Amino acid sequence: MFSFVARRVLQMIPVLLAIATLTFFMIRLAPGGPFDAEKNVSPEIRKNLESYYGMNKPVYQQYFDYLGRLVQGDLGPSFKYSNWTVNELIAQSFPVSAELACWSLLIALLFGLPAGIIASLRPNTLTDYIPSSLALTGISIPNFVLGPLLVLLFALGLGYVPVSGWDGWTDRILPSITLGALYAAYIARLTRGGMLEVLSQDFIRTARAKGASPLRVIMKHGMRGGLLPVVSYLGPAVAGLMTGSFAVETIFQIPGLGRYFVNAAFNRDYTMLLGAVLFYGALILLFNLIVDIALIWMNPKLKFE
């Protein structure tokens, strides 16, 4: 176990280096710069700003300076938010994005798992067609369309929940449903496929022949193997919930890291963009590692290779 985790952690280093390198040079190829939006800035002030942030150096020198700070864990100052560093902005905003992702994942599991299990019990019947149709609908509607529709219906039309914000528990409802609906649909389809495959195995028929109740067959014998595809999907799903919150946080005006990322893209805030991409990249690699360990625990046939 230790050698497996250590090997995977060491493999993350070149991946993160490649992400940092590609992102660093790609954002500088985009038209515009971090100070282009400033109004009535004299050439002297602009020159001082570029000197303060090191923008007057050659690109390759800026790259090596950034890597030197990155090794020390310093993501640099934000170009847009003066007197704030990227580390401080991430530390302040990421807990909000993480909470939104947790609520969305909970909704996805609460709706996706039962729908997939119910659909697998009687395939090609009405109890299969209805959950499968709902899952297909959830996959087909993107969150930037579903979010405004939910706001129009439940916030502006019925007035049950607030339109935007992140203050009370009611502010969590619409964003969590918007973000979790797509993943609930995927989880339902994966659960159905995995359970159908496991429920047709010989050991399931043996358990039923021994007199095990249908609930025991499903909960004890079927779900451990049937949910393996879902567990495999949870790594990319959690990463998608984190990064997919960009549009949702913008729609509902949630003060999370996704909104900072979108604003940094519009304002050419190079350090904020780099910091957010690297942070999310590290999270994706970490979640994939956790999922691999969970899969090995659930399926002893797999090895730490």
In angstroms, the CA 38 to CA 80 distance is: 10
Is residue 238 pLDDT above 70, yes or no? Answer: yes
Is residue 38 pLDDT above 60, yes or no? Answer: no
Closest CA to 115 of 99, 98, 129, 101: 129
pLDDT of 284: 81
Mean pLDDT of the chain: 81
Is residue 305 pLDDT above 60, yes or no? Answer: no
- Region 246-252: mean pLDDT is 81
- The pTM of the full predicted model, rounded to 2 decimals, is 0.76
SS3 of residue 77 by DSSP: strand
Q: Which amino acid is at 149?
A: L
Is residue 302 pLDDT above 70, yes or no? Answer: no
**pLDDT > 70 in the chain, percent:** 92
CA neighbours within 13 Å on the CB side: how many for 278? 27
Q: Where are the domains of the chain?
A: 93-257
Which helix (H) or strand (E) element contains residue 196?
helix 173-199
Radius of gyration of the chain (CA): 24
CATH: 1.10.10.10, 3.40.50.300, 3.40.50.1110, 1.10.3720.10. Which one for 93-257?
1.10.3720.10
Is residue 145 pLDDT above 60, yes or no? Answer: yes
pLDDT digits (tens, 9 = 90+) for 85-135: 888 888 888 888 888 888 998 998 999 888 888 888 888 888 888 888 888
Find tokens 């989880």 and name the residue. Answer: 187
pLDDT of 35: 67
224, 188, 233, 203 alpha-carbon torsion, rounded to 10°: 20
